[in-house]
Amino acid sequence: MMVEKNWGRIICISSYVALHGYPGDTPYGAAKAGLLGLTMSLAKEAAAKGITVNAIIPGYVPTDMTNGLFDTQEKVDSQIQLIPIHRPGKPEEIADMVNFLVFKGEYITGSVIRVDGGLGM
């Protein structure tokens, strides 16, 4: 449908783990790193068809998925201290970047955008 309309936006949601790894998360990290390769290759293929392809790398965002990562509040707090702005992200902050890429990002393609409070620096 995007090719027919000569317009589209594809936004992959990757992970901090794709670039930095995490003990015990090898399959997850490999899959999320694969999204980055997909983003780059597909961006080059789709650009001439008016389709942009980008990836977002969220940092630590408390969600149903991440709530099971740490078994104590102390471990959660230690992870938050690794984030330069010293707070976790919010789901709406990731959604805001998706919204920007869809509606304002017509000249952005093949980009990997970290929305992580500086965690990946």
| Residues tagged active-site | 28
**DSSP code at position 48:** G
Asked whether 52 and 46 are in contact (CB, 8 A), the reply is yes
Cα-flanking dihedrals φ and ψ of residue 66, to 5°? Answer: -80, -20
User: What's the rounded Cα separation, in Å, for the pair 105 and 68?
Assistant: 34
Residues 6+ away with beta carbon under 8 Å from 8: 1, 2, 46, 49, 50, 51, 52
